[in-house]
Structure 1
Amino acid sequence: MALLEIRDVVKRFGDFTAVNHVSLSVEAGEFFTLLGPSGCGKTTLLRMLAGFEEPDEGQLLLDGQPLNGVPPEKRPVHTVFQSYALFPHMTVEHNVAFPLKMAKVPAEQIKARVAEVLEDVRLTQFARRFPHELSGGQRQRVAIARALVNRPRVLLLDEPLSALDAKLREQMQLELINLQKEVGITFIYVTHDQGEALALSHRIAVMSQGKVEQLDAPENIYSYPKSRFVADFIGQCNLLDATITEIAADRMKVEIAGVGIAEVLPVAGAAVGQQGTLTLRPEKIKLGATLPADVPDEIHFKGKVHDCLYLGDVTVYIVELENGTRIETMLPNAAPGRARFFDDNDQVELAWRFDAGHFLLA
């Protein structure tokens, strides 16, 4: 049995349906992420798990026991908010001890458990400091320590890193991964940041308009999106409209609108004449002034550089094919002293393997 089950849950606010018949399960010890754009329903779902909202329909179960109607303070679930919500007049150790005092835990137990959890988040030396004396990352760890001190079955995290700068966010991502492994508590994490979700999660539920579009491991969501929305939302992706022209056992031929014939991996339920979308990640596409034409299983097209974007570790190139279609690709900036390989209007060639993309049926 899964630790947490969400069964056909619906939440409405007036005429607006924020969560629309969502069903999913979360395993014990899992780092599970709810990912999607603003307004997709992920935070509403988290608030229902925390007890701050009640479902209009459906069931929430933890260890097989219903959560519906159970007040937040009686659920073995704690929430870490984006704002941290620390008490400014209390020291770190007093902030962390607060939930235990409210639960009337004996003083000697409080001291031991606070010391244990501060060691887990590497804040022992900051125990007597106040929140204003800490960095953003340290305050975040205090908030996590306070949520963990009661040993909840599930820790809910609502965009906890969004207020941090890029470098600190990366450090905190690594700390969260390590902390989750150490404490073994189930994390349910809400974010709109695709890179963060891919880096942190065992599994991701991608949400849109109150529904789960895809629930899978990060590598499957990235490489094998199940919908055009997921392909477009997760990272950068070329979306090429195409029609199936031929189907064989190990591959299909598709005609990409305005581009030409390409080969792709077959998909279940496909039929000749059926329309769909070829999803092709930029890093799967080769780019060069000239490319060998005799490489097996590769598709080649010619074009010119329309634009480029320098991102430090890579440069993204927008290549306009001879018919005007634009395809995004990228090259790593690995050569010493050189940041750009091509300039606007340079003639180039593109190539990708038949199995580089993923075909979505319309």
Structure 2
Amino acid sequence: MALLEIRDVVKRFGDFTAVNHVSLSVEAGEFFTLLGPSGCGKTTLLRMLAGFEQPDSGEIVLDGVNVAGVPPEKRPVHTVFQNYALFPHMTVAQNIAFPLKMANVGAEEIKQRVTEVLEDVRLSQFATRFPNELSGGQRQRVAIARALVNRPRLLLLDEPLSALDAKLREEMQIELINLQKEVGITFVYVTHDQGEALALSHRIAVMNKGEVAQLDAPETIYSYPKSRFVADFIGQCNLLDATIKSIGTDRMQVEIAGVGVAETLPVAGAQVGQSGCLTLRPEKIKLGATLPSGDADEVHFKGKVHDCLYLGDVTIYIVELDNGMLVETMLPNSAPGRAKFFDDNDLVELAWRFDAGHFILA
């Protein structure tokens, strides 16, 4: 049995349905992420797991027990908030010990458990410091240590990295992955940052308008999105509107209006004449002034450079096809010398393998 099961949960605020018949499960030891834009229902769902909100209907089953209606302090669950909520007048050790004191744990056991959890989060040398003497990343680790000291079955994290700068956020992502492996506690993590979700998670539930749009491993969601919303929300993605022209055993042909025919992998339930879109990630597309032809596994189209965006490690080129459709492609800036290979209005050729894209039925 899964550690956590959310069964057909609904939460409304007046006429607005924040969570709409959501069902999912989380395994013990899993790093599970709720991902979606603002207002999608992810934070409301997390608050129901914590006990700060109660579902209007449905069950939240933790370790086989329905905890819907159980107050937060009675649940084996702790939450790390975005602002960390540390007590500024307490030292690191005192902040971590606070929930144990509230639970009337003995002084010797408090000392032992605080020492253990400080070692887990690698902050032993900072035990006597105050929060204002710590970096943002260190304060986050204190907040996590305070949540872990009661040995919860489930740790909830509500966008804990969103206030950090980009470099520190990347460092803390690695810290969180290592910490979760070391302590072995199940994490349920809420974020709107797609890159963060892909980097951290064992599985991701992408939410939209109060519902789970897709629940899969990060690589599956990225490479095989089930809807236009998921494809567009997760990273950069080209969405090429097309109609199915023919279906074979290992590939099918789709007509991209005004551009031509492309081959792609067949999808379940597809029928000739059905419309949809071909999803293509920019890094899967080759770009050149000319590209070698003759490979039966490659799709080739011509266009012209519409714009470019230099990002340091890569340059994004936006190429306009014959029908006016814009396609993003990416070239790494790995070679010495100049980083910009094409200028606006340069004629170019695009190519990608037939299995590089994924067709989504309308």
TM-score category of the 2 structures, normalised to the smaller one: over 0.9
State the one-letter code of the partner of 2:173. Answer: Q
Deviation string, structure 1 residues 153-203 (Cα, Å, up to 9, x no partner): 000000000000000000000000000000000000000000000000000
Q: How does 1:206-355 map to 2 (within 5 A)?
A: 206-355=206-355
Structure 2 partner of 1:126: 126
**Match in the other structure for 1:174:** 174
Cα separation, 2, equivalents of 1:293 and 1:182: 50
2:258–2:322 contact (8 Å) kept in structure 1 = no
Q: CA deviation at 1:294?
A: 1.2
Give the TM-score normalised by the residue count of structure 2: 0.99
Q: What residue in structure 2 maps to residue 37 of structure 1? A: 37
Cα deviation code 1:107-136 (max 9, x no counterpart): 000001001101111111110000011111
How far does residue 220 in structure 1 lie from its aligned partner after superposition? 0.1
Query: Offset of 1:345 from its aligned partner?
Result: 1.1
Q: In structure 2, the residue corresponding to 1:95 is in which secondary structure? A: helix
**SS where residue 328 of structure 1 aligns?**
strand
Q: Distance in 2 between matches of 1:158 and 1:334?
A: 37
Please report how far the alpha carbon of residue 322 of structure 1 lies from its aligned counterpart in structure 2 after TM superposition.
2.4
**Aligned counterpart, 1:155:** 155
Structure 2 spans left out of the alignment, 5+ residues = none
Pair 1:164 & 2:164 matched: yes
Partners in 2 of 1:105 and 1:9 — Cα distance?
A: 35
* Deviation at residue 323 of structure 1 after TM alignment: 2.6
Q: Does 1:69 align with 2:69?
A: yes
Structure 2 letter corresponding to 1:274? Q
The runs of 5 or more residues in structure 1 that have no matched partner are none
State how far apart, in whole Å, the 2-side matches of 1:32 and 1:324 are: 40
Tell me, yes or no, if structure 1 residue 84 matches structure 2 residue 84: yes
Structure 2 residue aligned with 1:5: 5
Quote the residue 1:116 is aligned against: 116
Matched residues in 2 for 1:178 and 1:184: separation? 10
- What does residue range 40-59 of structure 1 map to in structure 2 within 5 Å? 40-59=40-59
C-alpha contact (below 8 Å) 1:240/1:257 kept by paired residues:
no
Residue 320 of structure 1 contacts residue 326 of structure 1 at CA under 8 Å; is this kept in 2? yes
2:105 is equivalent to residue 105 of structure 1? yes
- Look up the SS of the partner of 1:99 in the other structure: helix
**Could you tell me the TM-score, scaled by structure 1's length?**
0.99
CA distance in 1 between partners of 2:336 and 2:350 (Å): 24
Contact 2:257 2:323 in 1 (8 A): no
Give aligned-pair identity as a percent: 85
Q: Does 1:202 find its partner at 2:202?
A: yes
Match of 2:21 in 1: 21
* Whole-angstrom CA distance in 2 between matches of 1:299 and 1:42: 39
Contact 1:258 1:325 in 2 (8 A): no
Moved over 4 A (4+): none
SS in 2 for 1:60: strand
- Residues 210-240 of structure 1, C-alpha deviation per residue, up to 9 Å, x if partnerless? 0000000000000000010000000000001
Distance 2:292 2:198 in 1: 34
What root-mean-square deviation, in Å, do the aligned CA atoms of Structure 1 and Structure 2 show? 0.6
Higher alpha-carbon deviation: 292-301 or 156-165: 292-301
How big is the shift at 1:347? Answer: 1.1
1:269: Cα distance to partner? 0.6
Report the counterpart of residue 140 of structure 1 in structure 2: 140
Q: What secondary structure sits across from 1:295 in the alignment?
A: coil
